[in-house]
Structure 1
């Protein structure tokens, strides 16, 4: 059963303060800071891109990034210069402690696409290698791989996804790990009649394929979240023709049971929008994304200016009942929940956009200004919002920004600076470099 939902749009006007080159606005009452704890520039002579970010149960953070040259942080080389035969692509995986201290890093041949970390600290990387590679356990064939590392970075295993039974047409976008160590991977699959369709696969802790899910509509799954019962929430975008020659793009959320069977589906009623992230904790399932055409339901409408866009966070309960929606910024690109009642959203805004606490300054004409907004996941009340002016250069649409929260509240952001940016500890120079930042609850 498919239900098209409409959710009320709410905005809050609150006093604001400005601090440094980034913009900080907070609500009245006890002051949650959102202050920058530390920043780690990950830089090199080549072009870097962020590939994934996740916390483990200890509050430590793991990152994955890609580059075509050596990369270093404050502690030294992260991605070493190539030696021996030249590989077309190279990626790095690294773990940082709660204070931003690097604990270990690995440099490997290939291209990282998806990162996930289990509560116990095991690291999973899904990626591709066009020529085949040895990631530590012997040669793998060309194509996509699943790499597993221990908490300390020690190699556990690497396998070909195709040899595990995962269709070779799957384009992975996101992954999550359940309490049993099973990996859920989502993206899109090629379909002879419908083009690409949203899809998900589940692999057990030993790599065996448990099930494959494919939606019956054209589109893409972009994010997944697994609850404590092993049920899977999949979010993304569906495309449909409402009138001849015109395609609608609609954000969707599907709940699957632990065996991959559909429990329910919800869609947001807009002709042009997409979901980019989903997270679940307790009695709330949150989805973020954006829309460039009005999102309406009966008498309530989320308006959008011509040629513009709005970001959103929508909340549901585990049965799919809508609870609230907030719209702010240009688009939400990711979100994470903590074990209390916090939700941290990362996204992009234009100068003057309201992030829930009033207009933010930014680089004029840029839709790549970076924001962080902390919400109460139960009722959606904005606790604080921060904006980081960032330029839009070149093919900025390929830039990915990631956010993660530890169970106790501190958050982290992994992203790409397209030009100079200040995350609260001073101006970072350069372009197409990666940054990692830690933030207070």
Structure 2
């Protein structure tokens, strides 16, 4: 596995400080977040024996289900610890849907478990939320009883020691404050606020009227406790304000809830087809990123694409449109820093038009000015195989951490599809 910096050589903003490979062999890319002390926490699934430098992690050679990795690196890239959780089921689904860290350094992990075990502590099969100590020990595990599929897509710390969890579900589900039901055969979105002990404060669900779908893909909480959710919908949906309607298969949306879960505002990119994949909040700014095709208007300016390409749309805290950019690349991850600047990551097929020059296809990381979207710096990385950016985070010193994966070719007959290997990158301020 290899990834190479193809940006301008020399010192400067966004220069690569270090990279770490994560040879996972799974189809999903790793998630990474920055702890209050600057350490980097990583969560991923893996299907092959794995050693990150601290010794071989537990591996069940009999089971075909993915294993669960949680690791912590120093800001210099040195491994502090790594824990592997083995699956108890043979071929059940496993998924890491989100990773967050609270002010005490505890890691919150959400996803779907086939029945993971860490010693005597277990994560039962099904959708889960778990809290781990700063040393990676499982402390609390929460499940959501019900029928039908449930997928956790993102987590965000709420600033009080708790987290907000978003995703989508079908059937019936008890999020801790009553049973919620999705219309038969439809996918509905949910948001759940939980306190530091993992108990539900409130939950909200949104379903399309008649036929359609709603999926929540990203979540961010501002300094006042406002909860922002982004994703996509089809048909017509009411998030609490005016009903949003689209004739597209999927249209991006973003909404804001109060800290108590009450609707504040909701917006969509009317007329286009696509999904909002990422969210970040800054001082009086809500940054939404995703991919689209077709055309949408933002502050009266058209943004058009004949095929899928990336966008960033920016609102103020009251939901008023500020600025938007669209470009020939995907947008899969966003983050803000203490200065309010926006960092984004994704992949491109060449001809990246974010100001980074003519570079070969691959992964990019860029920093934009929060007031007008002007590019401050752009870094591009190439690989012999297709790349995927999963998450991006910025620490208190301005260093940028990006996590993603590279596709890997395996011999015919491999028992798991679309194998990828993960990586971490640290870029200088």
TM-score range, shorter chain: 0.7 to 0.9
* Offset of residue 387 of structure 1: 1.6
Runs of 5+ consecutive residues of structure 2 not aligned to the other structure: 88-93, 171-181, 237-245, 410-418
For residue 198 of structure 1, what is the aligned residue in structure 2? Answer: 189
Superposition map of 1:244-255 within 5 A: 247-255=248-256
Q: Of 215, 219, 223, which residue of structure 2 is paired with 1:220? A: 215
Alpha-carbon offset, residue 358 of structure 1: 5.2
CA distance in 1, matches of 2:56, 2:225: 35
CA offset digits 1:338-385 (Å, max 9, x no partner): 111322100121211312x1543224xxxxx21111112233221101
| Counterpart-to-counterpart distance in 2, 1:415 and 1:78 | 22
- Equivalent positions of 1:18-33 (< 5 A) are 22-24=5-7, 32-33=12-13
Is the 2:58–2:86 Cα contact (8 Å) retained in structure 1?
no
Partner in structure 1 of residue 397 of structure 2: 408
1:347 lines up with 2:346 in the alignment: yes
Q: 1:236 aligns with which of 231, 234, 248?
A: 231
Q: Deviations over 1:247-277 (max 9, x none)?
A: 3421111001111111100111232121110
The offset of 1:401, in angstroms, is: 1.8
Give the Å deviation of 1:434: 1.0
| Alignment match, 2:406 | 417
Match of 2:201 among 203, 210, 217: 210
> Equivalents in 2 of 1:433, 1:337: separation in Å?
26
Range 291-300 or range 371-380, more displaced:
291-300
Say which of 360, 363, 367 aligns to 1:362.
360
Change (3 A) 1:125 1:53: same
Match of 2:154 in 1: 174
Q: Distance in 2 between matches of 1:299 and 1:144?
A: 42
Picking from 73, 82, 99, the partner of 1:105 is 82
1:84-103 deviations in Å (ceiling 9; x for gaps): x7472211000111111111
Q: How many residue pairs get matched?
A: 386
Instruction: Give 2:413's aligned residue.
Output: none
- CA distance in 2 between counterparts of 1:167 and 1:61 reads 35
Q: 1:291 to 1:106 in 2, by over 3 A?
A: same
Q: Which residue of 2 aligns with 1:282?
A: 283
Query: 2: CA distance between counterparts of 1:55 and 1:349?
Result: 25
Match of 1:124 in 2: 108
RMSD: 2.7
Shift of 1:136: 4.8
Return 190-199 or 276-285, whichever deviates more.
190-199
- Taking the aligned partners of 2:85 and 2:44, their CA distance within structure 1 comes to 11
User: Secondary structure at the residue paired with 1:50?
Assistant: coil
Could you say what secondary structure the match of 2:187 adopts? strand
More RCO (CA 8 Å, sep 6+): 1
After superposition, what is the alpha-carbon deviation per residue over 1:97-127, rounded to whole angstroms, capped at 9, x for unaligned?
Answer: 1111111111013533321111221001123
CA–CA distance in structure 2, aligned partners of residues 207 and 67 of structure 1: 26
Q: Is the 8 A contact 1:173 1:222 kept in 2?
A: yes
Alignment of 1:183 onto 2:163: yes
CA contact (8 A) 1:63 1:95 kept: yes
Deviations 1:260-315 (A, max 9, x none): 111100111232121110011221111111111122358521122x3x23211121
Q: Flag the 1:153–1:301 CA change in 2: closer, same or farther, 3 A.
A: same
1:283-298 aligned at under 5 Å gives the runs 283-296=284-297
**2:426 alignment counterpart:** 438
* Kept in 2: contact 1:137–1:157 (CA 8 A): no
State the distance in 2 between where 1:216 and 1:419 align. Answer: 37
Name structure 1 gaps, 5 residues minimum. Answer: 1-19, 364-368, 421-430
Match of 1:59 among 29, 34, 38: 38
- Runs of 4 or more above 6 Å deviation: none
Q: TM-score, normalised by structure 2?
A: 0.82
Matched with 2:365 is 372
